[in-house]
Structure 1
């Protein structure tokens, strides 16, 4: 096991670092203290290291504009309808940064912050822990929120991702990691088989928010219980697919301790286990090969965003964090 650190730039007066975790199998994970970001997952192949996720052309690119690739997104991921949180007779107006709605924690969310960090290695693990205090009122959220994001690489080619948080006031908190998996890049995800043991999903309205609650996947293109090639879904003419230009939907998970999702190609497999109650599948619908992420096009990767699912109405109790209440989210991605 090995851990190394390299300083590579600055952002708003803060030093930027790239951290590299390496296991005894030769698997390499690269992390950035900008956004507590998963930059690369490199698996050893016969012809060298193969990146299993979508990455920007350089590490310097991540802080130039917001693309969410590999970032820790929060305080909440997804959208809040009408940008208003009503709780205990108090009305909190969050920034409107997508039409009339609030999305991805505001324009200056957790994925745009520079974190402190520490590194550690044992005989069987290499890890990096990132810490940040999000101050009261930042992006409209009440409470000083203390956050720790930890990545741990094991010799079983498993990468564990854990978020721990504590607030000193009642607030909203529903973070996720926004990595796009691309197991056989530069090929698209058309021939990647996705399996999710979920009986229910949430259809979306024109604002990309649920409007019908949980609905059965049975008889729809969203039935991934036995596995489907993503290309057989994202290129259909189903209304929910065409309106979103791909998949952008929440799936209700059955048990946080068993398989949540699996991606499989002819060459590679990635399995996901999470403590989150749902996963939002997003097939990189908006990328078009232009701008800073010019190396990424529509359907080049798929994000599996572990989180509490967005809601149809204004009941945000599921993502309300009480003062002093510990929050934990844990994912494990295992690569073969």
Structure 2
């Protein structure tokens, strides 16, 4: 296994590095210390052809000027908080009247401290950042470490630890968009998605949860058995930007029958937000073509969004002096 870093760019006087992790099968995981962004994951199809299976940009500047959160580590709190309000704290309102993805100039838009890490059976990169007291309105100095490991079995492990000196909120996610066709040669409508999720969180027109957890049975939100994305979109033409409450073993499986690639996800988080990129017609380029609807699918493991306003959801309040641990594992295989 090989791990090295190279110069990738500059951001506000800080050097940005790309880390390249290559396993013994020549599958490659790439990430940068800006936003702890995953830039590429290059894995084989059923014929052994190694190609990239995530959405990203070819040059660093695009990660700064465009904001689809490609591959980014998002926090302090992923998703929306209604009215940007919690207790006596007013958070940054960066989506009309609401707060989204931790605010401005935070986890996904800063340069993290970073270092290569090696263990007997895996290589990785450890990113660290201290979000200061008052950052985007949040209380507490919050120390966060996120480590991405890459193994010889084509497994990406994401490990997150966090500790604050005051009571605060924490609900991070990674916002990678997947397209298992390789180099986005096709959209994801022929992919199948399966999740252990018996309920989804109903959302309003602002994409905020209403607080109701509804059964997926006999709805467009039922992915308990494998379902092709084109059929799912036919059932729900507006697409999905939907929180699902995970159950059972909390597994998620994305399958591309054309390339034979399979992604299996496991996590200790409560939920996953499925974002289907429906209607995402943009001017920026992905693999040389303008971003377009269904070019990828984001599978964002987290606790349910806006949890602070819904006591029936899993709490995202963290206590001072206590260390919190979160993990998600992504396994890439083929048929």
TM-score for the superposition, normalised by structure 1: 0.92
| 1:206 matched residue in structure 2 | 205
Whether 1:260 aligns to 2:251 is: yes
Cα distance in structure 2, aligned partners of 1:143 and 1:71: 23
Alignment of 1:232-271 (within 5 A): 232-236=231-235, 241-242=236-237, 245-255=238-248, 258-266=249-257, 267-271=260-264
**Cα gap change, 1:65 to 1:21, in 2 (>3 Å):** same
Cα distance in structure 2, aligned partners of 1:30 and 1:313: 34
Displacement, 1:83?
1.1
TM-score for the superposition, normalised by structure 2: 0.92
**Cα gap change, 1:48 to 1:268, in 2 (>3 Å):** closer
Give 5+ residue unaligned stretches, structure 1: none
Instruction: Identify which of 274, 279, 290 aligns with 1:281.
Output: 274
Q: Contact between 2:250 and 2:268, CA under 8 Å: does it hold in 1?
A: no
Displacement, 1:291?
3.2
| 2:295 matched residue in structure 1 | 300
Q: Contact between 2:262 and 2:332, CA under 8 Å: does it hold in 1?
A: yes
Displacement, 1:261?
0.4
Q: Contact between 1:21 and 1:127, CA under 8 Å: does it hold in 2?
A: yes
Displacement, 1:286?
4.9
Specify the SS of the correspondent of 1:111.
helix
| 1:29 matched residue in structure 2 | 29
Cα distance in structure 2, aligned partners of 1:187 and 1:167: 43
Q: Contact between 1:259 and 1:271, CA under 8 Å: does it hold in 2?
A: no
| 2:177 matched residue in structure 1 | 180
| 2:216 matched residue in structure 1 | 217
**Cα gap change, 1:123 to 1:312, in 2 (>3 Å):** closer
Cα distance in structure 2, aligned partners of 1:143 and 1:322: 10
**Cα gap change, 1:331 to 1:207, in 2 (>3 Å):** same
**Cα gap change, 1:312 to 1:333, in 2 (>3 Å):** closer
Displacement, 1:48?
4.8
Count of paired positions: 324
| 1:74 matched residue in structure 2 | 75
| 1:115 matched residue in structure 2 | 112
Cα distance in structure 2, aligned partners of 1:321 and 1:186: 42
Q: Contact between 2:198 and 2:222, CA under 8 Å: does it hold in 1?
A: yes
Cα distance in structure 1, aligned partners of 2:284 and 2:296: 17
**Higher mean displacement: 321-330 or 61-70:** 61-70
Q: Contact between 1:6 and 1:17, CA under 8 Å: does it hold in 2?
A: yes
| 2:5 matched residue in structure 1 | 5
Specify the SS of the correspondent of 1:40.
strand
**Cα gap change, 1:286 to 1:13, in 2 (>3 Å):** farther
Whether 1:309 aligns to 2:304 is: yes
Displacement, 1:47?
7.7
Whether 1:332 aligns to 2:329 is: yes
| 2:41 matched residue in structure 1 | 41
Displacement, 1:62?
1.4
| 2:283 matched residue in structure 1 | 290
Give 5+ residue unaligned stretches, structure 2: none
Cα distance in structure 2, aligned partners of 1:132 and 1:220: 41
Q: Contact between 1:57 and 1:295, CA under 8 Å: does it hold in 2?
A: no
Q: Contact between 1:213 and 1:311, CA under 8 Å: does it hold in 2?
A: no
Q: Deviations over 1:187-245 (max 9, x none)?
A: 11111000001111112111101125100000101111011001101133xxxx34xx3
Specify the SS of the correspondent of 2:309.
coil
